[in-house]
Chains A and B, each alone.
Chain A
Amino acid sequence: AQKVTQAQTEISVVEKEDVTLDCVYETRDTTYYLFWYKQPPSGELVFLIRRNSFDEQNEISGRYSWNFQKSTSSFNFTITASQVVDSAVYFCAGARGGNKLTFGTGTQLKVEL
C-alpha cells in the first residue's frame, strides 16, 4: 500500500516570499510516479508536475521547482516569489503507473498582500 503524507495543513505567507510544500511518499514499489496538483477555490484539480521514481533530477518551471529525493521519500514543491493567485490547496499524489492515484491530505496555501 502507498501512503502520502503532507504534514503541513496550512501555510500563510506574504506575497513575494518563497514557500516550500512538503510531501513524503511511502511505498514498497521500486517504480512509481509522483504528482502535484493545485486546487484553486473554484474546485478543479490542476496538474502541475509528474516525476518518475528513477529520475531524481530537480525540475524548475518558471516560479515552480520540485525536489525529489528517493532516499528520504520526499517530493517537495517550492514556489518562488509567491503571488496571491498561488493561493490554493496543493495535493501531492503517488501511483504505480496506470493505477490509481493516492492523494495526500493537501496543504492550504494562503498568500497575502
Chain B
Amino acid sequence: EPEVTQTPSHQVTQMGQEVILRCVPISNHLYFYWYRQILGQKVEFLVSFYNNEISEKSEIFDDQFSVERPDGSNFTLKIRSTKLEDSAMYFCASSEVEDRDGYTFGSGTRLTVV
C-alpha cells in the first residue's frame, strides 16, 4: 500500500536554529499538505501546495515557514528560526484531486525545540 514517508521521525533543535522537515508524498498525488499538532491538542492545518505553489495557508504559517518541492518526489517544510512554541508533531499529507480513500498522512516528525 502506498505510503507518505517523513524523515526524521524525531528532531531536537536549539531555539533559533533552522530545521527542514522532509516528506515523500505518494507518487501520483497532486495535493500536498503540512499539519501541526501541539502535544495533547488537535491537528491544525499549516499549508497546502498544488501545482508547485502554495494554494492555501493558515495564520500559523508566517514568514518563518516555507515549503518547497525541490524535485519530483520530496516536499519539505522549513522553519527558519525555531521558537520553543514550534515544538509539535508535524504531519505531511497528500491527496489526489478526486480522492477516494482520504488524505494519506505520514507518520509524523516530532520536533522538539530546546
Given contacts A45-B91, A97-B99, A106 and B105 within 8 Å (CB-CB):
no
Q: How many A-B residue pairs have CB under 8 A?
A: 58
Interface size on B, residues (CB 8 A): 29
- Chain A residues near B114 (CB-CB < 8 A): none
Q: Is B42 a contact of A104 with CB atoms below 8 Å?
A: yes
Within 8 A of B (CB), among A84-110: 91, 93, 95, 97-106
Q: Is A47 a contact of B101 with CB atoms below 8 Å?
A: yes
Given contacts A99-B56, A106-B42, A47 and B110 within 8 Å (CB-CB):
no
A55 interface hit (Cβ, 8 Å): no
Q: Is A45 a contact of B99 with CB atoms below 8 Å?
A: no
**Interchain CA distance A87-B73 in the complex, whole Å:** 35
Closest to A49 in B: B102
Closest to A91 in B: B43
B65 interface hit (Cβ, 8 Å): no
A32 interface hit (Cβ, 8 Å): no
- Chain B residues near A105 (CB-CB < 8 A): 41-42
Picked from B35, B97, B100, B108, the residue with its CB within 8 Å of the CB of A98 is B97
